[in-house]
Structure 1
Amino acid sequence: MDQTISIGIVSAVAALSGSALTAWISIRNARLQNEYALSMAREDRAERRINDHRTARREAYVAFLTAVTTAAIEVVRAEEPDLTDDEFEKRWTEAWMANRRTLGPHCVLAVEGPEAVVGPATYLRQCLFDELRIAKEVRRGVKPVAALSAASEERRRATAEMSNVAREANGGNIQTS
């Protein structure tokens, strides 16, 4: 009988020890898995934030460049030489308003940044207004036609610079090879 009790106690202690060891290993593995899952979730959130920010920047750049292109088209329409005075004033006003409509996208672009893009964007807007101002001065005979050609060329250079800076700020061109 004593031997049976001893074997029972040893068996019970062995079973409890085995259960405790199994529980400890299970808890340890569960904790490691939870830490790993938490770490992966943090990395995914960080990556999503980066992608969302990049997307917001790209959308701001596209909206700004689209507004600028629309304004540039209106400015060029106002520069046509064979317009009557009334047609010129109407087109000049339309171009002025199109230039003013670049302010909203410019503000969004300024918020999204970076500063390296804001400077060229501001300069591009200024080039549009300068070209439009010079178009009126050429029309009045205050400035030569060459001044308008120079202003148009400067606006085209500013547009190219803005596009290049925006592309670089958003990660540049993706090389596939």
Structure 2
Amino acid sequence: MQDTVAVALITALSTVAAAALTGLVGALSTRRQLAHQLTVARQESAERRATRRDELRRDAYVGFLSACDQAYRQLDRRWLDAGGGEPVTGYDEAYAAMRAVDEAYNLVLLEGPAAVDSVARSVLTSLTTEYADQRRLGGEPGEATVPLRDRHRERWLTAIEVRTKRRLSFVDAVRPVLHGGE
């Protein structure tokens, strides 16, 4: 009978050991699977955040360029105005366009990165400078029938060159950011 008890005890212990070993292997396997799923979930979440950030940046950059284009159109109209001593219509539209650029610039500031902020600020500064020059030059006494562009040709050409360089600098700064840079 002792042999039967010993065999039963050995069988029970080996069954318990096998169950414990199976449970341990199962727990380790489940842990590994959960860790992998957590890693995948974190990667997917990071990718979604990066995609969303890229979308927001792209929208901010496109909005800024669109606002700049609108401001450029208003400034171009002012260069073609005859001007003179009286207030000329078009300043209100140009001012509104400049305000839209300011608002679009705020979004660029929020979305970053700093390199793009800096270049966007230089675009905004050049627009503001051109607008101020037009206001000053348009208020000078002179031939009221001659457009600002013709009266101040060198300034007009310089303004066009500056705006083109600044705009291209902005686009050059934005491209690497949108194509996997920062």
TM-score by length of 1: 0.83
**Where does structure 1 lack aligned partners over 5 or more consecutive residues?**
none
Match of 2:119 in 1: 120
Distance 2:164 2:180 in 1: 21
CA RMSD, aligned part only?
2.6
1:35 corresponds in structure 2 to 35
Q: Distance in 1 between matches of 2:167 and 2:180?
A: 17
User: How much has 1:84 moved relative to structure 2?
Assistant: 8.8
**Partner residue of 1:148?**
156
For 2:128 and 2:180, locate their aligned partners in 1 and report how far apart those are by CA, in whole Å. Answer: 29
Residues 60-139 of structure 1 correspond to what in structure 2 (within 5 A)?
A: 60-81=60-81, 89-139=88-138
Kindly indicate whether residue 6 of structure 2 is the aligned counterpart of residue 6 of structure 1: yes
Distance 2:93 2:84 in 1: 15
SS in 2 for 1:79: helix
How far did 1:165 drift?
0.8
Q: Does the C-alpha gap of structure 1 residues 54 and 61 become closer, same or farther in structure 2, counting only changes over 3 Å?
A: same
Match of 2:145?
none
Return 5+ residue gaps in structure 2 as ranges. Answer: 143-147
Measure, in 1, the Cα distance between the counterparts of 2:94 and 2:2: 107
Question: Structure 1: which 4+ aligned runs deviate by more than 4 Å?
Answer: 81-86
Q: Is the 8 A contact 1:128 1:155 kept in 2?
A: yes
Cα 1:116–1:30 change in 2 (3 A) is same
What TM-score do the two structures reach when normalised by structure 2?
0.81
Task: Quote the Cα distance in structure 2 between the aligned partners of 1:112 and 1:4.
Answer: 78
Contact 1:138/1:148, CA 8 A, preserved across alignment: no
C-alpha displacement of 1:105: 1.2
Displacement, 1:81?
4.4
Instruction: Indicate the residue corresponding to 1:169 in structure 2.
Output: 177
**Identity level (%):** 25
